[in-house]
A and B are shown apart, each in its own frame.
Chain A
Amino acid sequence: MDKDELIHLHVDVDLPYRWAAGRYGSIMLKALRDEKKILGNCCPQCNKVYVPPRVVCGPCFVAPDEVVELSDTGTLAGYSVVNYPFIDPETGQKRPVPYTYAYIQLDGCDSYLSHLIDETDPARLSPGMRVKAVFRSDADRVGRLQDILHFKIIE
């Protein structure tokens, strides 16, 4: 066998999906689109408030049926300035870097929300910082989590 030449095939797989947000996710995404409100839900047993709202509180195994309005401000719980290249599976293109990926604890909520911060200088970021949601304009909100453009630092 000719050891020098090994063939490999390059294929860009285009695999489309349409995912249902379901009953609980739709409650949040509709409020985000129509009222610029962030909604979570609350477990009647342990009183933990979740975002995104979901069908069951895992540790208690009961439905958190009470919908709770959350603040659009919160605390930066953890973050990373992403600086390495990779293919974004949603677009098939390289995702623009740098960008700051963050876990945000919204006021009134016990779980974290994954979102973006509009600051990519690590020296200007630290855990515990206060952040506030920046919403897209009325015309640009379509009922997805990216209707929040990003969070900005407010202190």
Chain B
Amino acid sequence: MSQRVGIIGFGQTYHRSRRDDVTGIELINEAVRSALEDAELTIKDIDAVVIGNMDHFEAVNYVDTWSVDGSGAWMKPLIKLTTGGTTGSTLGIAGYHHAASGLFDVVLVIGWEKNSESDTTGAIITCSDPIFDRFSFSGALPGLAVEASAYIKRYGITEEDAARVAVRDRTHGANNPYAQLQTPVTVEEVMKSPMLSWPIKLLDICPRSDGAAAVIFAGERKARQMCPQPAWVHSTAVRHSHAYFCDVNYEELHTLEGAVRELYDHVGIKEPLKELDVVELYQPYSFAGLKWIEAMGLCKPGESPRLIWDGATDMGGELPFNPSGGVICTNCIGATGLLRIGEAALQVMGRAAGRQVPDVNLALATGFGGAYWSDLMLLGRRPW
């Protein structure tokens, strides 16, 4: 029988640009042990394991079976999911359905990546269609640059507006001891950083990281037994469309608009800016922190710079974004979406320490990846 589900534990590694001191399996194990410790559980309490990453970043096939020693899935139900950048959010959503189905009570979800182990752009290129897209494709950046330039042209957005978003996340990242980048930057520094693909500069985009995240989901009865304040899953929504990169509409992020509409309708959110208390946005570059919050219905198209400059999305603002520092401070790709969910859960549980937003009732975590795909998970203090 279906059951309500809460997050009862979250663990992550200290994310770095490279971790030559551990293998992938050992990296996974760090996050798993941290999550078990956080939930005050042992591996015996875990009924099923869900794991994922992007195969070609480490060139390991069947990561689920390869990593059993690190994940703790020995003699346990084990499944692998992967959807590119959205892998982490896909995993979190799978953890929810595992427990919500009633087939399992306590589910360990692991996302990880060791981006240092391959040429990241070379690996990303292999996500394009081999016959029609791959020879010209050059990774994640050009698509984002096309999106940003179209957005700038349409609404008169400035590069400084975007820089202010990067400044926010880098400022927040200084509060997160797990973040890879913990030094704040200024608008001037972002503006002066090397231009990679106009209008995107080095400090506008995420780094690449080695890191892992683990989140423990539990069905209602166990969640109440095991955790004083679970982060309850209220709803999820996913849109993964398109077969070719050339099909993506770079003017609008339709996948996020569609997913947001489904999720808000499902839980009855009418004024997201007022009703949500914190957002962990999978924001791989600064311009997304403008355009995508419009797609989320926080303001009208073209009006996001006002919210950003007014500090509405800063710590202490009306709706803080990315208290963890977000993707701009840490991007271990297969873990990134799950970090959003884990960080959002910490906020609801009141356990986010130096990056805690006061009195969080509703926290939204998002995922982005694939051919401009969007995933959402809404967490709340009371069960849905």
Question: Which residues of A are in contact with B by a Cβ distance under 8 Å?
Answer: 6, 8, 11, 13, 17, 19, 21, 25, 29, 50-52, 54, 58, 77-84, 86-90, 95, 99, 101-103, 111-116, 122, 127, 144-146
Among residues of B, the one whose C-beta sits closest to the C-beta of A1 is: B21
Return the 6 tightest CB-CB contacts between A and B, nearest first.
A78-B146, A80-B142, A86-B121, A87-B122, A112-B246, A87-B119
The A-contacting residues of B in range 209-267, CB under 8 angstroms, are 241-247, 250
Q: Is B150 an interface residue (CB 8 A)?
A: yes
Among residues of B, the one whose C-beta sits closest to the C-beta of A82 is: B138
Contacts of B119 in A (CB 8 A): 86-87
Q: Is B59 an interface residue (CB 8 A)?
A: yes
Contact (Cβ within 8 A) B132 A103: no
Give min CB distance, A83 to chain B, whole Å: 7
Give Cα distance in the complex from A11 to B60, angstroms. Answer: 13
Give Cα distance in the complex from A79 to B198, angstroms. Answer: 10
Contact (Cβ within 8 A) B149 A146: no
Given A80-B142, A86-B121, A86-B125, are A114 and B137 also a contact pair (CB < 8 Å)?
yes
Contact (Cβ within 8 A) B153 A112: no
Q: Is B183 an interface residue (CB 8 A)?
A: no
Given A86-B121, A89-B123, A113-B246, are A80 and B138 also a contact pair (CB < 8 Å)?
yes
Q: Is B130 an interface residue (CB 8 A)?
A: yes
Give Cα distance in the complex from A144 to B59, angstroms. Answer: 27
Contacting residue for A88 out of B125, B141, B198, B243, CB 8 A: B125
Contact (Cβ within 8 A) B197 A81: yes
Q: Is B182 an interface residue (CB 8 A)?
A: no
Among residues of B, the one whose C-beta sits closest to the C-beta of A20 is: B131
Contacts of B242 in A (CB 8 A): 58
Q: Is B300 an interface residue (CB 8 A)?
A: no
Give min CB distance, A150 to chain B, whole Å: 9
Q: Is B196 an interface residue (CB 8 A)?
A: yes
Q: Could you say which interface size class chain B belongs to?
A: 35 or more
Contacts of B196 in A (CB 8 A): 83-84
Among residues of B, the one whose C-beta sits closest to the C-beta of A9 is: B117
Contacts of B139 in A (CB 8 A): 86
Contacts of B136 in A (CB 8 A): 101-102, 114-116
Contact (Cβ within 8 A) A127 B153: yes
Give Cα distance in the complex from A21 to B137, angstroms. Answer: 18
Give Cα distance in the complex from A35 to B139, angstroms. Answer: 32
Contact (Cβ within 8 A) A127 B122: no
Contact (Cβ within 8 A) A127 B149: yes
Given A6-B21, A87-B119, A144-B131, are A101 and B142 also a contact pair (CB < 8 Å)?
yes
Contacts of A90 in B (CB 8 A): 134-135
Q: Is B133 an interface residue (CB 8 A)?
A: yes
Task: Supply 7 A–B pairs (Cβ within 8 Å), ascending by A.
Answer: A50-B247, A52-B132, A86-B125, A86-B139, A103-B146, A103-B246, A111-B246
Give Cα distance in the complex from A44 to B245, angstroms. Answer: 23
Contact (Cβ within 8 A) B244 A52: yes
Give min CB distance, B22 to chain A, whole Å: 9
Contact (Cβ within 8 A) A82 B142: yes
